[in-house]
Amino acid sequence: MKIKWNITSRPPPLASQTARPRTLHRPGFYRANAAPALGSAAPSWHQARPRYCSRLASSSKASQSTSPLTLPNNPLFQPQISRVPIVFGRSFSQTPIPPATINQTIRGCRKPRTKGKKAPALEGCPQKKGVCTKIYTVKPRKPNSAVRKVAKVKLSNGKTVVAYIQGEGHNLQEHSVVLVRGGRTIDLIGLKYKIVRGALDFAGVVGRKTSRSKYGVKKPKDEL
């Protein structure tokens, strides 16, 4: 609740409109900068203007006596309380708002979230056969720096995807028939598929000794 002071000149009020003098307490009995508690009455005029009240009390003889101060009938000294509603930033209740009521829950408002597919072009299949339409290179995102080989493949279901070519060296060219599986490449944006090495027209990595199954390399004869 805010208090506005009207300092403009007004004509003297009529006898019927004259307000009774308000009886106020001495200015030394209030606590400075004390905000009124919620639900309490509005602050008196000496609490709203402590400096003005202290000067008025020191200059008047009423401050030296034990009798309380009286507010003059002059309209300039009458406080005007503005009717501004108090808006609080948060509610008084500490109970959180429930996401759904009991009736809404019974009707079945809560549904499990559906997870998106990591390889939607495969349509639930482990691999898809396709034909290479373009072989090119791309650069990875920061902080990596390289030249990565990728291929644009048209799958048997009619969808076109960009797949990553793993390993060192490859024999792919346009119109090569390959087998595409799911699997993203971390530093290449938008790549969700990889080409299986050692399947169809795609040969394995030459001279690979470790992790041969990932690169389509058979076991050497001297190790049999």
- The residue with tokens 């030394």 is 28
User: What percent of the chain stands above pLDDT 90?
Assistant: 39
State the pLDDT at residue 30.
Answer: 46
Residues of the chain with pLDDT under 50: 28-33, 46, 61-63
- In contact, 205 and 169? CB cutoff 8 Å: yes
| CA nearest neighbour of 202 among 112, 106, 131 | 131
Domain boundaries, the chain: 3-9+17-81, 123-223
| CA nearest neighbour of 194 among 179, 204, 216, 205 | 179
Structure tokens at 118: 């990591």
- The model's pLDDT over 87-106, given as tens digits with 9 standing for 90+, comes to 555 556 677 777 888 899 89
State the fold for domain 123-223. OB fold (Dihydrolipoamide Acetyltransferase, E2P) (2.40.50)
